[in-house]
Amino acid sequence: MLRASFDSSTSLVISDASVKNNIAISISHIHMHKKPVIKMLHHAMNITSTEAELLAICCGINQSIGLHQINKIIVITDSLHAAKKILESLMHLYQIHSAAISYELREFFMMSNDNHIEFWDCPSNIKWPLHS
């Protein structure tokens, strides 16, 4: 992760979400070398924790795609099962989320054969300073 954070063509997306009392909080941090960290926080009601996780991941990817000279996106999440839904073409409950981000990823991949995305699993028992 440290090596990736010093690469100016790599965007690190760290996402997290939680649901409490029917209110979901999704948070994404986007880090690029020598740039300020971008922090996005979203609140939503009446959605599942998987939808909240997908929202955080999709928002982070969306921000990263729009950044100049980024050819590698690394998504770090404790919900790898949710992240996999983004790239699934099969019918599933969260297909609306995956359709929106898939279109943007298609454009990202078409810009260069070097562009790629990775998903890294970070178990939830590791504490990140995400809620500071």
Residue 6's alpha-carbon distances to 35, 72, 79, 108, in angstroms, are 11, 12, 25, 21
51-68 mean pLDDT? 86
Give the pLDDT score at 72.
93
Structural domains of the chain sorted by starting position, each given as residue range(s) with its CATH number in brackets: 2-120 (3.30.420.10)
Q: State the average pLDDT for the chain.
A: 81
Please state, in angstroms and rounded to a whole number, the distance separating the CA atoms of residues 50 and 25: 12
The answer, as to whether pTM is greater than 0.85, is no
Alpha helices of 1-132 — where are they, by DSSP H? Answer: 2-5, 49-65, 80-86, 95-111
Please state, in angstroms and rounded to a whole number, the distance separating the CA atoms of residues 43 and 18: 10
Please state, in angstroms and rounded to a whole number, the distance separating the CA atoms of residues 58 and 22: 21
Q: What is the pLDDT of residues 91-130, one digit of tens each?
A: 556 666 667 777 888 889 999 999 999 988 887 665 555 4
